[in-house]
C-alpha cells in the first residue's frame, strides 16, 4: 500500500525526513500538498506568500516528476483532504514534518490519532527547526523569554543532526490520485499584476535555494558580521523565504556554515529564528496578543487611516522609512535594520498598533511566517520577548546616518523627494513616551 508524504512548509527533496521515511517503506510514494484556507485558526496566506507558493509548488512538482512521482494538489480543510487521499489511494502510511503553530499542531494531532485508529501508520519528524521546542527548558522547567540564555541552552544540547541526502528516485504509484491544477488555485495576482518586482528579485524553489546558500557562503559570509546592518551592502544571506518555505532545511544551512570562519554571527541569526518559533509554540496567540500583558494598558489613539496608508506606500516624508517600504512593496523583502526602523516609526511615531503593521508585512513579505513576523513586531513595539524591555524608539534620521552614510540605499529606493514629513519626529517621540507611562504603571 502506498505511503503519503504530506508536504507543508518543507517544499524540498533534500533533507526531508518525512520523504526519507516514506522511501524507506519501499512502497510507491504519493507526494501531497493541501491548500488549507478552511480550517479554524489557520491564517490565510498573504499576497506575496501566495505568489511564492505557486512557484515553489511548480518547482517541486517538476523535480518530483523527474524522479518518478506526481505532486498531488488538493484544496480544503487539511484533515479532510488528507483522509480523502488516504482513502482514494488505499494508503497504508502517512508521513510529515512537524509544524509548531497552535491551530496547525491541533490539526496534525487530530489527524494522527484518527488515522492510527483506522490502522494507518503515521509518523512525524523534525525538519523545520534545529531544536524541538519541548527540548529547550529553563532550570525550573519553563520556557525562555530572553534570547541569550535561550540560545546558550540550545547550544548545550546535542548538535543538530546531519542533513539527509537528496533521493535520486521517488517512485510513484501507477495510478496517482486525482489532483487539482495549480493554475486553477489562483495564487498568482490577476487584474493588476503587481508581481513584476518579485519576479525580478526572486527565483523560488529548491535549486535556487541551494545556489543562494552556496553563493552566500563563498562570497558574503566573511563580511557578514561587519556589514550585515548596512542595507546597501548586500551582505546578508537572503535565505529567509527559502527557509520560510523549507526549500532549504535549517540543518543544511547549519552544517554548511558551522565550520566556516566567522560564521558565529550568522548562526546566531538562525538562533533568532528558532527563538521566534519556540515563542509561538508556547504562545500561539503571538500575532494578536501582547506577550507582555502590561502592554494591554497602552492607549492607542484613534487610527489615522491616512497615516497608515502613507506608511504602507512609502510616503511618510522620512527618507529611510519610505525607502524601506518601497523596497518591501517592490521586492517582497526588506533589510532587517530597515524593518526595525519602519516598524518603530509606525508604532512609536505614528502611534499605530503594531498589529496593523504586522498585517501589512504579512501580506507583502515573501518570507512572512507565523512566528518571525509577529515575534519581531512585538520586539520592536516593546510588548515582546526582550532582555531589557524598555521603550526602544529608533530615530530614522540617525539610523540612516549610521547605516546608510552615503545614502546609497535611500537613493536606490528613493520616493518622492519633495514630501514633507507627515509628523514631527521629536514631538511624536515624546507623545509615545507619555503613552508608555501607562504601561509602566500597569507593570
Q: Which residues bind ligand FAD (CB under 6 A)?
A: 228, 236-240, 243-244, 269-270, 272-273, 276, 336, 339-340, 343, 361, 365, 367-369, 372-373, 376-377, 380
For the bound state, the minimum distance from the C-beta of residue 239 to ligand FAD, rounded and expressed in Å, comes to 4
**Cα–Cα distance measured from residue 292 to residue 116, given in angstroms and rounded to the nearest whole number:** 39
Please name the residues in contact with 277: beta carbons below 8 A apart, sequence gap of 6 or more. Answer: 100, 128, 129, 133, 371, 372
**Cα–Cα distance measured from residue 327 to residue 234, given in angstroms and rounded to the nearest whole number:** 13
For the bound state, the minimum distance from the C-beta of residue 97 to ligand FAD, rounded and expressed in Å, comes to 17
Catalytic (active-site) positions: 269, 272, 300, 336, 354, 377
- 13 Cα distance to chain centroid: 19
In 88-182 the beta strands, taken as DSSP E runs, fall at 93-97, 121-125
Q: Which is nearer to ligand FAD, 236 or 249 (CB)?
A: 236
Q: Which is nearer to ligand FAD, 83 or 212 (CB)?
A: 212
Q: Which is nearer to ligand FAD, 74 or 244 (CB)?
A: 244
Q: Which is nearer to ligand FAD, 151 or 361 (CB)?
A: 361
For the bound state, the minimum distance from the C-beta of residue 367 to ligand FAD, rounded and expressed in Å, comes to 4
CB 130 within 8 Å of CB 160: yes
CB 130 within 8 Å of CB 150: no
Burial of 200 (0-12, 13-18, 19+ CB in 10 A): exposed
Kindly give the residue spans of alpha helices, DSSP state H, lying in 127-238: 147-156, 196-201, 206-215, 221-227
For the bound state, the minimum distance from the C-beta of residue 388 to ligand FAD, rounded and expressed in Å, comes to 16
CB 21 within 8 Å of CB 125: yes
If we measure between CA atoms, which residue out of 355, 350, 353, 340 comes closest to residue 311?
350
Q: Which is nearer to ligand FAD, 79 or 346 (CB)?
A: 346
For the bound state, the minimum distance from the C-beta of residue 417 to ligand FAD, rounded and expressed in Å, comes to 26
**Cα–Cα distance measured from residue 111 to residue 100, given in angstroms and rounded to the nearest whole number:** 15
For the bound state, the minimum distance from the C-beta of residue 362 to ligand FAD, rounded and expressed in Å, comes to 7
**CA 292, 293, 296, 297: dihedral to nearest 10 degrees?**
-100
Q: Which is nearer to ligand FAD, 182 or 368 (CB)?
A: 368
Amino acid at each position: 500500500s502506498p505511503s503519503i508524504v504530506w508536504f507543508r512548509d518543507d517544499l524540498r527533496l533534500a533533507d526531508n525526513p518525512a520523504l526519507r521515511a516514506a522511501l524507506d517503506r519501499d512502497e510507491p510514494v504519493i507526494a501531497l500538498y493541501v491548500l488549507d484556507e478552511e480550517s479554524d485558526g489557520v491564517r490565510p496566506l498573504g499576497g506575496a506568500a501566495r505568489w511564492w507558493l505557486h512557484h515553489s509548488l511548480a518547482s517541486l512538482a517538476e523535480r518530483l516528476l523527474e524522479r518518478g512521482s506526481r505532486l498531488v494538489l488538493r484544496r480544503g480543510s487539511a484533515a479532510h483532504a488528507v483522509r480523502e487521499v488516504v482513502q482514494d489511494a488505499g494508503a497504508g502510511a502517512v508521513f510529515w514534518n512537524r509544524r509548531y503553530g497552535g491551530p496547525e499542531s491541533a490539526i496534525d494531532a487530530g489527524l494522527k490519532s484518527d488515522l492510527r485508529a483506522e490502522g494507518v501508520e503515521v509518523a512525524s519528524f523534525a525538519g523545520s527547526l534545529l531544536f524541538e521546542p519541548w527540548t529547550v527548558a529553563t532550570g525550573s522547567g519553563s520556557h525562555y523569554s530572553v534570547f541569550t540564555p535561550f540560545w546558550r541552552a540550545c547550544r548545550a544540547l546535542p548538535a543538530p543532526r546531519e542533513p539527509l541526502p537528496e533521493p535520486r528516485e521517488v517512485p510513484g504509484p501507477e495510478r496517482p490520485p486525482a489532483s487539482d491544477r495549480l493554475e486553477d488555485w489562483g495564487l498568482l495576482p490577476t487584474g493588476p499584476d503587481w508581481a513584476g518586482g518579485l519576479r525580478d528579485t526572486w527565483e523560488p524553489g529548491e535549486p535556487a535555494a541551494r545556489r543562494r546558500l552556496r553563493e552566500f557562503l563563498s562570497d558574503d559570509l566573511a563580511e557578514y558580521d561587519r556589514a550585515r546592518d548596512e542595507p546597501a551592502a548586500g551582505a546578508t544571506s537572503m535565505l529567509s523565504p527559502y527557509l520560510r518555505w523549507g526549500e532549504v532545511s535549517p540543518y543544511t544551512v547549519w552544517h554548511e556554515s558551522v565550520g566556516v570562519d566567522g560564521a558565529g554571527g550568522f548562526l546566531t541569526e538562525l538562533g533568532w529564528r528558532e527563538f521566534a518559533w519556540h515563542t509561538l509554540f508556547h504562545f500561539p496567540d503571538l500575532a494578536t496578543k501582547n506577550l507582555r500583558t502590561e502592554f494591554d494598558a497602552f492607549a492607542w489613539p484613534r487610527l489615522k487611516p491616512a497615516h497608515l496608508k502613507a506608511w504602507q506606500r512609502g510616503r511618510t516624508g522620512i527618507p529611510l522609512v519610505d525607502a524601506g517600504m518601497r523596497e518591501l512593496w517592490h521586492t517582497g523583502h526588506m533589510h532587517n535594520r530597515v524593518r526595525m526602523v519602519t516598524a518603530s516609526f509606525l508604532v512609536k511615531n505614528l502611534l499605530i498598533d503594531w498589529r496593523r503593521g504586522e498585517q501589512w508585512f504579512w501580506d507583502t513579505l515573501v518570507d512572512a511566517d507565523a512566528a518571525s513576523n509577529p515575534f519581531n513586531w512585538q520586539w520592536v513595539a516593546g510588548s515582546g520577548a526582550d532582555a531589557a524591555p524598555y521603550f526602544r524608539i529608533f530615530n530614522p534620521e540617525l539610523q540612516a546616518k549610521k547605516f546608510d552614510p552615503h545614502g546609497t540605499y535611500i537613493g536606490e529606493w528613493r520616493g518622492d523627494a519633495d514630501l514633507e514629513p507627515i509628523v514631527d519626529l521629536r514631538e511624536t517621540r515624546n507623545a509615545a513616551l507619555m503613552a508608555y507611562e501607562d504601561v509602566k504603571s500597569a507593570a
